[in-house]
Amino acid sequence: MDDEVKREIILEHYQNPLHRHKPEKDGYEKVNTANQSCIDNLDIYVDIQDKIIKDITFTGEACAISISSTSIMIQNLIGKTVKEALEYIDNFDKMINEKEYNADLLKDANVYDNIYKQNSRKSCAFLPYRGIREILAKYLEE
């Protein structure tokens, strides 16, 4: 993916993020995820039924990287089982941290494959994943 395409995808998800609202019905798990070193602060809501992610929404304020990353995460995780979602997150984690990963699995999230070059923004890209991973881990155990 060339840099111009990446930039366009990021900006599109920043300016028109998916599901940036509170859930419209009850039964969602909520998690707050914030970066201590900056001012990103998001609440993420997840609806999980029979170990399948039915819906994700979010609210809060954060930078372009965090917001777009959250939107892309939502696009990619809805419909996945908890186990699949955790694998996806591990894969994203590996990409951010320059380890071997499966690029095919990540789809649009590949736009952050160079983010490791900007150390201060790695945590921005990973912010939503840190939050949702906590919730999913609980469901895996059950």
Q: Which two tokens stand for residue 72?
A: 């892309």
Strand-pair partners of 52 = 49, 81
Contacts (CB under 8 A) with another protein, residues 80-139: 121
Q: Does 73 bind another protein (CB under 8 A)?
A: no
Nearest distance in Å: CB 109, another protein = 15
Strand-pair partners of 43 = 32, 59
Residue 99 has phi, psi (to 5 degrees) of -105, 175
Report residue 53 CA to chain centroid gap.
Answer: 13
Report residue 132 CA to chain centroid gap.
Answer: 8
Compare residues 38 and 52 and give the one whose CB is closer to another protein: 38
Compare residues 7 and 22 and give the one whose CB is closer to another protein: 7
Nearest distance in Å: CB 52, another protein = 32
Q: Which residues bind another protein (CB under 8 A)?
A: 7, 10-11, 14, 38-40, 61-65, 67-68, 121
